[in-house]
Amino acid sequence: MNAPTSIDPIPYQPSFEVPEDDETETTFDLKDTMRGISVKTFEDSGTAIRSVHAKSHGLLLGQLTVLDNLPPVYAQGLFAQPGSYPVVMRLSTTPGDILSDDVSTPRGMSLKVVGVPGARVEGSEGDTTQDFVMVNGPVFNSATAKKFLGNLKLLAATTDKAPNVKRAFSAVLRGAEKALEAVGGESVTLKSMGGHPETNPLGETYFTQVPILFGQYMAKVSLAPVAPSLTALTDAPVDLKDKPDGLRDAVVDYFAAQGGEWELRVQLCTDIDKMPIEDASVEWKEEESPYVTVARLRAEPQPAYSDERARRIDQGMQFSPWHALAAHRPLGSIMRVRKTVYEMSQRFRAERNGVAVTEPTDVDFLRNG
């Protein structure tokens, strides 16, 4: 989408961020709950995996090109100047245990932009990466960190239990979601519990769901497919019967023959009441501020998954919104608690797997993986 001429974004003010009551305690409980998921899956498999988005379906290298002549309100941070950067891309689904793909949950896309200069957020000094962590829906499934903790505790209790029951339950939920969508509805809750349609993740549009600083402004970020070969996969079904890794197979098959292109888009906050920072369940309406293209992402045909690439990316990297320029500092309670929780997850995986989890300075070591 081209940049509109009438956008008047609101400058960030510290007063827009208001910590929840007991946010420190919530952070501790979230960290403890996430660690419990990781401990359980490690005990069962002998490998430490992520406590969310554990299963990857595609591990790709791409190139992000920042557009020329962006309007000043969009030429911020990473996007202040035209340029091109290598990107590591990770497609995933949300659970913290490795499940058959017919337990169908929301899809994730994480980007790690490499070689980005500029002042950094606290804890990211010395790094040169900018991460965007996204899911294929515009809103987070909980309004605040405290509400997310309640939902997570329910999911944590099911970690690595009764996989066949989960598959059957997912089929029921998919039926309910299909019926709801047939009358124009949609349920974030049903999708998050296993009712997501069995569709190709390459056709999805992904969203950060929660805001970040955008220079002096505030924004959400989206990644949308634009190559015809990708948009043809939007809502395209994937046969997952007796194919526990069917989503990965679909991604591998696609990139074996062709590449793809996406647009990275930014939605600026123009009304703090209608587009709040601290309630992640509120959708920022595009009538208030549309998503505007600031960069293009291209991935050439390539092996989209291998054991070696999984070792280097799934085990050797962490994707976190706190790997960021100061100009793109994460905002709101969901983002604040993520910092501590993600740091715990990184330490747990590094210690248990005996693999250093580090931020890359280039992607050359991945090209032959």
pLDDT tens track for 122-135: 999 999 999 999 99
Taking only the tens place, the pLDDT of each residue in 221-259 is 999 999 999 999 999 999 998 899 999 999 999 999 999
pLDDT at 5: 54
| Cα gap 200→147, rounded to integer Å | 30
Q: Encoding tokens for residue 16? A: 């827009």
Count Cβ atoms below 10 Å from residue 258 Cβ, excluding itself: 12
Task: Looking at the chain, list the stretches that DSSP marks H as alpha helix, in order from N- to C-terminal side.
Answer: 23-45, 145-156, 163-182, 188-193, 228-231, 246-257, 307-310, 333-353
Q: Which residues of 44-64 are buried (b: 16+ CB within 10 A; e: fewer)?
A: eeeebbbbbbbbbbbbbbbeb
Greatest distance between any 2 Cα atoms in the chain: 56
For residue 325, pLDDT beyond 80: yes
For residue 190, pLDDT beyond 80: no
Which CATH number describes the domain made up of 14-366?
Answer: 2.40.180.10
The answer to whether the beta carbons of residues 49 and 349 sit under 8 Å apart is yes
pLDDT at 97: 83
